[in-house]
Amino acid sequence: MTEYGVTGDGFVLKGIDAILDDTRERARQMWATLGLVADLSATSPLAKLIEAAAMEDAELWKRLQDFYYSGYVSTATGDSLDLLGGDVGLTRRELFATGTVTLTLTGGLTGRTYVVPEGTILLAPTRGQSFATTATAELTAGTPAQDVAVQALARGIGGNVPKSTITAIAPQYRAVYLADFGPADVTVTNQSELGGGDDREDHDTYRGRQLGIVRTIWTAEAARQAVLDVDGVVDVLLSDPSGGVDVSQSVFNEFSFAERLFSAERQIDEPYTFDVVVAHEHRWPWRTTGPVLGVFERVHEVMERLRPPGVHPNIVEADHIDVGVRARVVVERGSDEAALDREIRSRLAGALGDLRLGGDVLYSQVVRTVVEVDGVLDVQRLHLRRHPPAFGRITFGEVAFQTTTVQTAVGQNLVMGPTELPVFRPDAALHDLELVTP
């Protein structure tokens, strides 16, 4: 016999067919005890009553199934998922408000292009809110105005600002990144209100955070999860160089086990330190810039709440490596080459945006992404390029320090070190796409 309800394999739903069969059989048995034969033909009153009751029972079974699965994070939805998150102190997060602003160039020189990079920090002074652009703007004297998408740097309804509220570029950001504008200036305003800050993250995102939460006070995985929960953090690597045997030393295997140690011992009064390598989205500044709290400071604040006494994290920025593509792309005749060039770069940015620390850029993945663009017939002479970050690099592996652009041979992958995060920027100068027709 088939088991229904809670079984060793989970909850087995009793469907309408099984309910009808059981009810009809009980009706036959009941009438048989009276010496009668039950009329269960399709048009009989008894059959109609049984069908009506079976429909109610089927709905009840569905509710029982929902109730059973609402107790598991992997299957719960709605309020049930919120209650499970509340049990472990993890609430559903608000989203970032989004919208557009208009950047306008004033006093620009003829023939010069003024680039306002992605991640430019904008301010809404009357609201005390900060925002960052999510695309690059190129302004000239001939086309001085351009609309650019922006996103709030803080979650919540506070980012839902009305129109004409975002009116300034952060002075600290302007002094560093727009200092070469000379007499030219860029004004900013939002022609419409920003919205979406009062929305909550979707079920799948919230469920993923619950499934990944570590239910311990202090472990490497708990520290990693806490850092990943900081807005703007893409990935994190924890390294404890003094936490075990250092087999990379040249003297490894040359010690006398009875007399010497592999490496120097920690002193009793020496603080315990370890490295936290953080990769972040470039829209969030690493250090505090004006009113915008930096990723470093926010990660440090999280670690201070978690760390035991005497344990001190050394927070360092990961190596964000710019990745580019050089290739000869064969396109269909009559294609808009400028539009195809933008589409190829946009597709590559999306395909490579999910890579994490140490994730290699695969040649096959890049080729597949390019040929899947409508209008592209073939990809030839494809080389992958990389360039180190502008302010130096750190490394725990064998990747040597590099100061020039590196280009791989055709067919080779772009290998990343354990502390390196590949970053593909659609407007980067590393790209060299030659579009030709057959």
SS3 375: coil
Residue 266 CA to chain centroid, in angstroms? 38
Question: In the prediction, which pLDDT does 199 show?
Answer: 93
Q: Are 296 and 286 in contact (CB under 8 A)?
A: yes
Residue 399 banded pLDDT, cuts 50, 70, 90: very low
Question: In the prediction, which pLDDT does 370 show?
Answer: 92
Considering just the CA atoms, what is the radius of gyration of the chain in Å? 31
- The percent of residues above 70 in pLDDT, for the chain, comes to 88
Residue 353 banded pLDDT, cuts 50, 70, 90: confident
20-49 residue pLDDT tens: 988 888 888 988 888 888 888 888 898 899
Question: In the prediction, which pLDDT does 215 show?
Answer: 63
DSSP for residue 179: G
Residue 250 banded pLDDT, cuts 50, 70, 90: low
Of 83-97, 104-118, 240-254, 415-429, the one with minimum mean pLDDT is 240-254
* 301 membership: H or E segment, kind and range: helix 295-306
Question: In the prediction, which pLDDT does 214 show?
Answer: 67
Tokens 């470093």 — which residue?
A: 296
Question: In the prediction, which pLDDT does 90 show?
Answer: 84
Question: In the prediction, which pLDDT does 266 show?
Answer: 52
Nearest partner of 60 among 137, 5, 102, judged by Cα = 5
pTM: 0.69
12 has pLDDT over 80 = yes
- The percent of residues above 90 in pLDDT, for the chain, comes to 32
Counting every residue, how long is the chain?
A: 438
Residue 88 banded pLDDT, cuts 50, 70, 90: confident
393 has pLDDT over 50 = no
Residue 273 banded pLDDT, cuts 50, 70, 90: confident
Residue type, 207: R
Question: In the prediction, which pLDDT does 163 show?
Answer: 93
In the chain, domain spans: 5-69, 98-189, 214-317, 320-436
Residue 392 banded pLDDT, cuts 50, 70, 90: very low
**Separation of first and last alpha carbons in the chain:** 67
Question: In the prediction, which pLDDT does 106 show?
Answer: 92
Question: In the prediction, which pLDDT does 295 show?
Answer: 93
Question: In the prediction, which pLDDT does 244 show?
Answer: 45
d(CA 397, CA 242): 16
Of 271-280, 317-326, 386-395, the one with minimum mean pLDDT is 386-395
Question: In the prediction, which pLDDT does 401 show?
Answer: 45
Averaged pLDDT of the chain: 84
DSSP of 149-173, one letter per residue? EEEESS-SGGG-PPTT---EE-HHH
Burial 102-123 (b: 16+ CB within 10 A, else e): bbebeebeeeeebebebbbbbb
Question: In the prediction, which pLDDT does 220 show?
Answer: 79
195 has pLDDT over 90 = yes
